[in-house]
């Protein structure tokens, strides 16, 4: 078996460009998608049908809140943009908003949307809080103006109310009447919204799979060039040939995944959490599962070209199901979530993210590792049987 492993590793010299390319693509896409997702700000349109000082003040206040990119629009353009999906939603400041602020009536605000999501709910809370603050400030200003007018007369009351309103709003901005004392507690299951972490984990797993599958796929190359048949008639057993091929492919995949994990730590400043040993344990089990999957796929096809055509379909589809491209938390389909449990990517991401993002320890790696080892064992047994059946047919 030692000679088979050496032979496979020597052959890597001919395919080292593939190894470098897959590693570089994983790092490049991790940087691009990780940074862009972290800076993502949904676009929101503001339709000011009231055209008053108060409506303009509301628009200015919510623009200062951050988290969204705001743009002025008319009603027809806002409806069209929301229907086309080019914007998240549109805020409509309905006619009569200023009058409602002055009289204390229910405020007239609307939202154009095609669905609800967390960003829209956040925006609604932001707008509601800002409008309520303006209405409260106006009531305080009116009461202040009425009080002063009782001693100075009604002359100049409007100016007094406007001045009092500005003072109250200024107090909200610079001298908040409330002091909030916050204390951050470490809760084991409290997630951290870190797009970079998920992107590093997802793309590292996705691109390393190609190296593992094509690493074990050298068996098909040997079959095409009759090297496989010559090895079978040699004193080396078939078990040693398969074992050596598996070990070599495993080592190549483990090295690449290890490089990507270290790159995430030192290039992107990613904190892998409390248990790097747990992350590496899950990674080791994942490499075994994918290498065995490669052996299984190699048993299904006849040539290396067929494997090259089948592999992108299998790996891309399972990566999408398993959460490499996006977090499974945003998936609502129960069918897709059930299918995700059948992919090795889902379990690897679950184990690694629980440690890196949720602050859990080595215990979080146990279940994903066991599931990945079981998957790998199943793929390995099936792959060996397929290759053995092919030998008997020949």
Residue 350 phi, psi (nearest 5)? -60, -50
Confidence label for 88 from pLDDT (cuts 50, 70 and 90): confident
Same domain, 198 and 319: yes
Q: Domain for residue 184, yes or no?
A: no
Report helix, strand or coil for 105.
coil
Residue 9 has pLDDT above 50, yes or no: yes
Question: Do 83 and 26 fall into the same domain?
Answer: no
Residue 25 and residue 92 in one domain: no
Question: Which pLDDT score, from 0 to 100, does residue 348 have?
Answer: 93
220-262: pLDDT as tens digits:
666 665 665 555 555 555 666 667 777 877 888 888 888 888 8
Q: How many CB atoms lie within 10 A of CB 338?
A: 10
- Are both 266 and 372 inside the same structural domain? yes
Whether residue 365 sits in one domain with residue 250 = yes
Please state, in angstroms and as integers, the Cα–Cα distance from residue 40 to each residue in 33, 66, 114, 195, 322, following that order.
10, 12, 20, 10, 23
Same domain, 130 and 261: no
Kindly tell me if the per-residue pLDDT of 109 is higher than 90.
Answer: no
Q: Is 101 part of any domain?
A: yes
Q: Does 159 share its domain with 211? A: no
pLDDT for position 188: 45
Shared domain for 9 and 58, answered yes or no, is no
Residues 7, 102, single domain; the answer is no
Q: Are residues 74 and 197 in the same domain?
A: no
Task: Give the structural domain span for 78.
Answer: 41-174
- In this structure, the number of other CB atoms found within 10 A of the CB of residue 75 comes to 15
Structure confidence at residue 229 (pLDDT):
55
Tell me what the pLDDT averaged over the chain comes to: 77
Q: Does 186 map to a domain?
A: no
Which of 44-53, 193-202, 364-373 holds the top average pLDDT? 364-373
Q: Let me know: does 48 contact 56? Beta carbons within 8 Å.
A: yes
239 and 349 share one domain: yes
User: How do residues 328-347 score in pLDDT, each as one tens digit?
Assistant: 877 778 898 899 999 999 99
**109 SS3 class:** strand
pTM score of the predicted model: 0.60
- Shared domain for 140 and 169, answered yes or no, is yes
Digit-coded pLDDT (tens) for 359-369:
788 898 999 99
pLDDT in tens, 123-159: 888 888 888 878 777 777 767 766 676 666 655 666 6
Considering the domain boundaries, does residue 198 fall inside one?
yes
Of 118, 140, 174, which residue constitutes the final position of a domain?
174
Number of domains in the chain: 2
Residue 188 included in any domain: no
In a domain, 183, yes or no: no
């Amino acid at each position: 078996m030692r000679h088979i492993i050496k032979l496979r590793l020597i052959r890597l010299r001919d395919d080292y460009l593939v190894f470098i390319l897959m590693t570089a693509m994983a790092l490049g896409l991790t940087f691009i998608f990780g940074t862009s997702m972290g800076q993502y700000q949904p676009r929101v349109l503001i339709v000011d049908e009231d055209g008053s000082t108060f409506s303009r003040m509301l628009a200015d206040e919510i623009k200062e809140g951050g988290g969204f990119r705001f743009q002025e629009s008319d009603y027809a353009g806002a409806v069209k943009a929301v229907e086309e999906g080019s914007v998240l939603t549109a805020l409509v400041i309905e006619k009569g908003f200023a009058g409602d602020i002055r009289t204390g009536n229910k405020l007239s605000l609307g939202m154009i949307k095609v669905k609800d999501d967390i960003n829209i709910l956040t925006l609604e809370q932001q707008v509601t809080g800002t409008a309520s603050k303006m209405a409260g400030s106006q009531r305080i200003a009116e009461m202040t103006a009425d009080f002063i007018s009782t001693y100075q007369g009604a002359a100049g009351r409007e100016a007094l109310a406007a001045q009092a309103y500005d003072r109250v709003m200024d107090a909200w901005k610079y001298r908040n009447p409330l002091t909030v004392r916050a204390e951050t507690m470490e809760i084991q299951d409290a997630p951290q919204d870190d797009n970079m972490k998920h992107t590093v984990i997802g793309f590292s797993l996705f691109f390393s799979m190609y190296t593992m599958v094509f690493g074990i796929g050298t068996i098909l190359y040997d079959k095409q060039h009759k090297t496989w048949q010559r090895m079978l008639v040699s004193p080396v057993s078939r078990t040693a040939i398969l074992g050596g091929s598996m070990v070599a492919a495993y080592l190549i995949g483990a090295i690449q995944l290890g490089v990507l994990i270290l790159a995430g730590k030192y290039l992107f400043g990613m904190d892998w959490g409390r248990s790097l040993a747990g992350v590496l344990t899950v990674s080791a089990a994942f490499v075994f599962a994918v290498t065995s999957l490669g052996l299984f796929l190699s048993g299904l096809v006849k040539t290396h070209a067929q494997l090259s055509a089948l592999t992108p379909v299998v790996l891309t589809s399972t990566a999408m199901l398993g959460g490499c491209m996006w977090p499974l938390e945003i998936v609502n389909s129960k069918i897709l979530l059930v299918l995700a449990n059948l992919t090795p990517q889902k379990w690897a991401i679950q184990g690694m993210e629980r440690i890196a993002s949720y602050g859990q320890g080595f215990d979080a790696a146990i279940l994903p590792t066991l599931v990945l080892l079981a998957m790998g064992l199943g793929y390995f047994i099936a792959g060996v049987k397929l290759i053995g059946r092919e030998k008997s047919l020949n």
